Structure 1
Amino acid sequence: MFPFIQKMLSFQRSFSVSPFPILPLQLPSPMETHLWFVVPDEFKSVSLLNQYMELLSPCEKENVLSMRGEQLQKQALLARTLVRTTIARYQINNRVVDPRSLKFKRNVHGKPELEWESDGGQCPSPLHFNISHTSSLIACGVTVNSSIGIDIEEKQRKIKNNILAFARRYFSLHEVEHLSAISDSEVQRQEFVKLWTLKEAYVKALGRGFSAAPFKTFTICIKNGFRRGFDHANDLESG
């Protein structure tokens, strides 16, 4: 069982003015998660978006411009800007960080990580982050010395397939039983989306990729209406 024990603080980033200078913040405490978010529809200034583009690496710029359509490009740009300006706010070893100087890498499973350099050269970064976005919200979570995974979904997300049939394919037996006990179809849909979001966030926190942690191999434990943690199974459960 892996219980939820992190304290979460949420901050909305306002990019309505120039992002410089970036005011420093203290790092999250060991038992604390900082969650930063922006609303894409609030960003309408083309000149300001062009400023944000200059914060990105050549590879990031290429990825943004490769997106089809202005909206997807805007979302990708704001996502990378949020990551860079958020991480740059945290001073590690009393260093002021220029968001343009940040370097990123991917672990062997493809999870993005911060590449940190100390006086002695490269070293593992104490700061961990993860990002998720929808068309209406972009969020970045930050922790220290603790892996993090976040996922956000649209509250009104529609499920094309039969919910229980879909759940039997991907969820654990206990989760399917939980959904089966809900008679109201709308409440069942909402609960399915919540479970899916929690499971995806957990897999992202593990950082081993979805193939290494199939959804059926763990269960979101629900007790008295509250999600209390995760139970692992060594083998796949059949739905």
Structure 2
Amino acid sequence: MRHRLLRRAMPLPPPPSPPPAPRTPGVAGGRIFSSLPTPPPLQSRREVHVWYLLPDELNDASQLKMYMDLLSPSERKTALSMNGEKLQKGAVLSRALVRTTLSRYTDCKVDPRSFEFKKNKFGKPEILWRSDDSGMEWPLHFNISHTSSLIACGITMDTPIGIDIEEKKRKTAKNILSLARRYFTPSEVDCLAKIPDPDAQRKEFIKLWTLKVSESFCWSST
């Protein structure tokens, strides 16, 4: 697949304090997102749009509460069960990014709070469309990944997507080549072994690792 878009997700403007939305077209969602640009269309199954945000830039308590209000009760419970405010904040923003991004790809016809999700047989989350959603079902696929400093959400149409991001200065507990021999193909290990510079070798290892994890995330959550 080719990346067509890599764009920072924009903060939401203050909402007009609507009540929790039912599973109906998102009138409130349309108002919330009225000032945001419509994302460019996904014109083929080979396109991937990636939206990201930087958690450290979002520190306004009222805005974080607004994001929390977009989550389902189970998502809120999971987020608040995280150990420490930083992890809780990351969990809230991750789920809010998924919901707001998906909503925008329906032209805000589906309120971000209205989305429900299911897991496929491999454990990967997918959108759950109800039988009463006739005429409102979009063939959207998504995947999300995060580090301590960045959260990214990938969107495709009609085809599964996997996305993985890693810290640029990630340290490995084991020797890179010994770790590569466990997970990489012989040709990939040979390619790494021929790189004399340790820093360049580590960067190439992380690039290959990220590609492999992304591929696995196309189908499963682990």
Considering the TM-score relative to the shorter chain, is it more than 0.5? yes
Contact 1:116 1:122 in 2 (8 A): no
Listed as ranges, the matches of 1:125-140 within 5 Å are 125-140=138-153
Task: Give yes or no for contact 2:12–2:32 (8 Å, CA) kept in 1.
Answer: no
Q: Per the alignment, in what secondary structure is the counterpart of residue 83 of structure 1?
A: helix
User: Alpha-carbon deviation of 1:14?
Assistant: 2.2
Give 2:210's aligned residue: 197
Which structure features the higher share of helix residues?
Answer: 2
Map 1:43-62 → 2, pairs under 5 A: 43-62=58-77
Which residue pairs with 2:42 in the alignment? Answer: 28
Question: Residue 26 of structure 2 aligns with which residue?
Answer: none
Structure-2 separation of matches of 1:123 and 1:55: 20
User: In structure 2, which of residues 5, 29, 35 is the aligned counterpart of residue 9 of structure 1?
Assistant: 5
Counterpart residue type for residue 52 of structure 1: Y
Is 1:171 matched up with 2:184?
yes
Matching residue within 109, 119, 126 for 1:106: 119
Q: Please report how far the alpha carbon of residue 146 of structure 1 lies from its aligned counterpart in structure 2 after TM superposition.
A: 1.1
DSSP-derived class of the 1:37 partner: strand
CA distance in 2, matches of 1:122, 1:65: 35
- Distance of aligned partners of 1:15 and 1:166 in 2 relative to their CA distance in 1, 3 Å threshold: same
Structure 2 residue corresponding to 1:81, chosen from 84, 87, 96? 96
CA 14–124 in structure 1, closer or farther in 2 if over 3 Å, else same: closer
Count residues with an aligned counterpart: 203
Show the counterpart of 1:230.
none
2:14 counterpart of 1:18? yes
Confirm whether residue 42 of structure 1 aligns to residue 57 of structure 2: yes
CA distance in 2, matches of 1:136, 1:95: 28
Structure 1 57/105 Cα, relative in aligned 2: closer, same or farther at 3 Å? same
Structure 1 runs not aligned, ≥5 long: 211-239
Q: Note the C-alpha offset of 1:122.
A: 9.9
**TM-score normalised over the length of structure 2:** 0.84
- Report how far residue 90 of structure 1 moved: 1.3
1:187 equivalent among 200, 211, 215:
200
Structure 2 unaligned blocks of 5 or more: 16-30
Could you tell me whether the CA contact under 8 Å between 1:117 and 1:123 is conserved in 2?
A: no
SS in 2 for 1:136: coil
Question: Could you list the per-position Cα deviations for residues 89-126 of structure 1 after superposition, in whole angstroms to 9, with x for gaps in the alignment?
Answer: 012xx771110001111001100101124657599751
> How far 1:67 moved relative to its partner?
0.2
* Inter-CA distance 148–15: structure 2 relative to 1 (3 Å threshold): same
Which of the residues 158, 162, 179 maps onto 1:149? Answer: 162
Write the letter of the residue equivalent to 2:118: K
- Say which is worse superposed, 13-22 or 184-193, in terms of deviation: 13-22
Cα 1:70–1:209 shift into 2, 3 Å: closer
- Pairwise CA RMSD: 2.2
Give the Å deviation of 1:38.
0.2
Q: CA deviation at 1:158?
A: 1.1
Residues 68-98 of structure 1, C-alpha deviations (whole Å, 9 max, x = no match): 000000000000000000000012xx77111
TM-score (norm 1): 0.79
> Which letter does structure 1 place at the counterpart of 2:33?
I
Q: Is the 8 A contact 1:103 1:114 kept in 2?
A: yes
Q: Percent identity?
A: 49
In structure 2, the residue matched to 1:233 is none
